[in-house]
Amino acid sequence: MSASLPGAGGIIRMMPGNQRYHGEGMPLRVMMTVAYTVTDRQITGGPAWMNTDRYDIEAKAARPRTTDELHIMLQHLLEERFQLKLRRETREESAYLLTVAKGGPKLPVHDADDKDYPPIGGNNITANDGTVCPGILGRNVKMDYFAFFLSRVMDRTVVDRTALPARYDVALQFVPENRLRAGDGAGGPELTPGCSDIQTALPRQLGLRLDAGKGPVEYLVVEHAEKPTEN
């Protein structure tokens, strides 16, 4: 762990092989969202430098690990290097509940023997009919992690209530809410007419749905953090 050079950044990701995390120019607060799989709005407290000071990180496990195991190892690293002390709070509040839509899920089940867990990401997706829309692509994804990723593009936390046990391949075309509000002047590649909002796209493409409701939302309260010394 080291301070980034001016102008560096910003990326943090699990590298191929599921054994290493690489980060460049990332504030502690952003690294925490990855390690603890929470959105920025679920982190409270802490000194102001958590949002501004940027760090590079190279963390390698002794052998390949699952995504969940690497997240825990990254948590331990941040807690050690930043003397990070957290308090977890669970609050019942407004959320979106991710459930299976009528007719059942339309998600390809991924091979359980495949131990490669690439990061889920946002991309423009071209469907079989030629429609081009923004969207989410994921391979070998658990539903709780899919719900977390949806939380990052929605205005409130998404809670997984699907009870789907496997890992799945996900390809979801939808126009994010902020782009819908911005209209045609939002910039970016021109989209094929007919790209739908996420509430319409989820049941049609994946057999899932989002319902507004109440759910348990975890918060991380930062009680202490220190700037790390150089390696």
83, 97 Cβ separation under 8 angstroms: no
The residues, any chain, with a CB within 8 Å of residue 99's CB and separated by 6 or more, are 161, 162, 208, 209, 211
SS3 assignment, position 154: coil
107: phi > 0 → left, psi -120 to 50 → alpha, else beta; which? beta
pTM over 0.85: no
Spatial contact of 29 and 80, defined as CB atoms under 8 Å apart: no
Structural tokens at position 137: 């692509």
Distances (CA, A) of 184 to 176, 194, 198, 228: 13, 13, 18, 45
Residue pair 26/10 in contact by the 8 Å Cβ criterion: yes
pLDDT of residue 186: 47
Tens place of pLDDT per residue across the chain (231 aa): 666 555 555 777 777 777 888 888 899 999 999 899 999 999 999 999 999 999 988 888 888 888 888 889 999 999 999 999 999 999 999 999 999 999 999 999 999 888 777 778 877 777 767 777 888 999 999 999 999 999 988 889 999 999 999 999 999 988 876 555 555 444 555 556 668 889 999 999 999 999 999 999 999 999 999 998 765
Q: How far is CA 47 from the centre of its chain?
A: 24
Q: Are 222 and 43 in contact (CB under 8 A)?
A: yes
Say if residues 159 and 218 touch (Cβ distance below 8 Å).
no
CA distance 64 to 61: 7
